[in-house]
């Protein structure tokens, strides 16, 4: 900036020399996509999430498409999900021809309310798809108790929550399928990237097929036989592969996950200690949860939110709003959705502001954000 004060965005990546070196190493190797680096990243992801299988894909949106696709979600099915999310969660439900059903969130965690989910279940419900808002795992145990006896699947959108724990269990091992994003603002990055984890062998195979054109080479699975070149496209899939270059970056980033999470948690604690008040409300961490905090989403009164946001921008702080609720968008209104049907999410979306939160934020930066927030709030009083 002309005044020499650097801009603090709401999120950004951390890249070290060893991250760069790992990408260069693969760039000089035989396989630029598929091959050993992809498998190694998937194994590292299994270790980081406690899951049996991890399938690396092109981005978090592709991960959701693969998850719904592998479960065979289709026209006539319903997927219960959160309105307070990035639109990809429900857009991919539309992509497979099914209908998203939005239910309201809990006021303290802003994750879907199991009681609202129970009330929304119908004979058409195929999937419950909670979103781990800001990094905190949704109430998976309660949701599983609703889903399992009815044969409904759980797909957890964990784009915010790699490295989070719920009563000692890692996110990635809680739901039937868990989807991750490695976009640069997320906790670890591969530039663009994503993954799905599962403990189910058959689902893992379907995810791998879906990622690769629905193409099957395994002789044991072929319907017909042919020469050594022979393969079959057995169902509809896409090219959602993640390159080996990106997997190398992902492996290097995963070695720093614990450090990233610890730094994120420390920054949120600093903000909370300095700023939490009736004027600026923080999201509660449920007992037993350790959130990796992808976002530091705070709430100000809806009447002041716009001025609060602009006040921070004047101090070279670039906050963001997570999220405008999905039913508010023209696409969804056009499909008959009404944001007023999920009033707690709707009210939250008019109050939320995400403060800068990323491991590269220095103590001085954190102090700068705290001082700016205090000054803007005082101006608005």
Ligand X SMILES: *Cc1c(COP(=O)(O)O)cnc(C)c1O
Number of H helices, E strands in the chain: 13, 16
156 touches ligand X (CB under 6 A) = no
CB of 159 to ligand X, least distance (A): 3
Cα-flanking dihedrals φ and ψ of residue 275, to 5°? -125, -20
60 touches ligand X (CB under 6 A) = yes
Specify the 3-state DSSP secondary structure of 135: helix
Measure CA of the first residue to CA of the last residue in the chain; give whole Å.
29
Q: How many residues at the interface with ligand X, by CB under 6 A?
A: 14
Residue 48 and residue 171: Cα distance in Å, rounded? 9
| Residue from 10, 41, 68, 86 binding ligand X (CB under 6 A) | 86
Name all contacts of 147-154 with Cβ < 8 Å and 24+ positions apart. Answer: 150/121, 150/125, 152/121, 152/125, 152/126, 152/127, 152/128, 153/71, 153/126, 153/127, 153/128, 153/177, 154/127, 154/128, 154/129, 154/130
Cβ–Cβ < 8 Å for 80, 194: no
CB neighbourhood size of 184 (10 A): 16
Q: Give the C-alpha distances (Å, rounded to integers) separating 347 from 10, 258, 337.
A: 21, 34, 16
Nearest to 352 by CA among 289, 305, 293, 290: 305
242 touches ligand X (CB under 6 A) = no
HSE of 189, CA atoms in CB hemisphere, 13 A: 17
CB of 289 to ligand X, least distance (A): 17
286 touches ligand X (CB under 6 A) = no
| Residue from 89, 90, 164, 253 binding ligand X (CB under 6 A) | 89
| Residue from 65, 126, 160, 264 binding ligand X (CB under 6 A) | 160
Nearer to ligand X, 89 or 136 (CB): 89
**Which range binds ligand X by CB under 6 A, 7-15, 58-66, 257-265, 340-348?**
58-66
Give the dihedral of Cα atoms 375, 275, 278, 349; nearest 10 deg: 90
Residue 151 and residue 145: Cα distance in Å, rounded? 11
159 touches ligand X (CB under 6 A) = yes
| Mask for 126-145, x = binds ligand X (CB under 6 A) | -----x--------------
Catalytic residue among 126, 186, 256, 304: 186
| Mask for 180-209, x = binds ligand X (CB under 6 A) | -x-x----------x---------------
CB of 329 to ligand X, least distance (A): 15
Nearer to ligand X, 86 or 337 (CB): 86
Q: Which tokens go with 380?
A: 């608005």
| Residue from 66, 67, 84, 88 binding ligand X (CB under 6 A) | 88
291 touches ligand X (CB under 6 A) = no
Nearer to ligand X, 194 or 311 (CB): 194
Q: Which tokens go with 381?
A: 């009083």
Confirm whether 186 is a catalytic residue: yes
Q: Which residue is nearest to ligand X (CB)?
A: 60
| Mask for 17-36, x = binds ligand X (CB under 6 A) | --------------------
* Sites of contact with ligand X (CB under 6 A): 59-61, 85-86, 88-89, 131, 157, 159-160, 181, 183, 194
Q: Which residues are catalytic?
A: 186
């Amino acid at each position: 900036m002309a005044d020499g004060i650097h801009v603090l965005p709401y999120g950004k990546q951390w890249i070290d020399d060893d991250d760069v070196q790992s990408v260069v190493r693969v760039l000089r190797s035989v396989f630029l996509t598929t091959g050993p680096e992809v498998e190694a990243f998937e194994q590292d992801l299994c270790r980081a999430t406690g899951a049996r299988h991890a399938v690396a894909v092109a981005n978090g949106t592709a991960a959701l498409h693969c998850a719904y696709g592998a479960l065979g979600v289709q026209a006539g099915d319903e997927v219960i999900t959160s309105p307070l999310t990035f639109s990809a969660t429900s857009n991919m439900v539309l992509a497979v021809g099914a209908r998203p059903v939005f239910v309201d969130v809990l006021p303290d965690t802003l994750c879907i309310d199991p009681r609202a989910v129970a009330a929304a279940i119908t004979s058409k419900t195929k999937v419950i798809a909670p979103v781990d808002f800001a990094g905190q795992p949704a109430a998976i145990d309660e949701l599983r108790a609703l889903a399992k006896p009815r044969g409904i699947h759980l797909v957890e959108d964990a784009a915010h929550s790699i490295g989070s724990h719920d009563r000692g269990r890692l996110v990635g091992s809680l739901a039937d399928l868990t989807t991750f994003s490695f976009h640069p603002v997320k906790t670890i990055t591969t530039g663009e990237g994503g993954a799905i984890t599962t403990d189910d062998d058959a689902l893992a195979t379907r995810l791998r097929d879906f990622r690769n054109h629905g193409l099957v080479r395994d002789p044991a699975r072929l319907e017909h036989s042919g020469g050594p070149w022979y393969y079959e496209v057995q169902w509809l899939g896409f090219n959602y592969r993640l390159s080996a270059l990106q997997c190398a970056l992902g492996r290097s980033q995963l070695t720093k996950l614990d450090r990233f999470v610890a730094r994120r948690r420390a920054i949120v604690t600093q903000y909370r200690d300095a700023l939490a008040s009736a004027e600026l409300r923080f999201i509660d961490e449920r007992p037993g949860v350790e959130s990796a905090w992808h976002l530091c989403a705070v709430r100000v009164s809806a009447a002041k939110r716009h001025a609060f946001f602009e006040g921070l921008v004047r101090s070279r702080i670039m906050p963001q709003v997570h999220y405008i609720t999905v039913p508010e968008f023209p696409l969804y209104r056009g499909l008959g959705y009404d944001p007023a049907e999920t009033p707690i999410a709707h009210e939250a979306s008019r109050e939320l502001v995400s403060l800068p939160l990323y491991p590269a934020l220095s103590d001085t930066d954190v102090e700068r954000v705290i001082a700016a927030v205090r000054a803007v709030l005082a101006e608005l009083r």
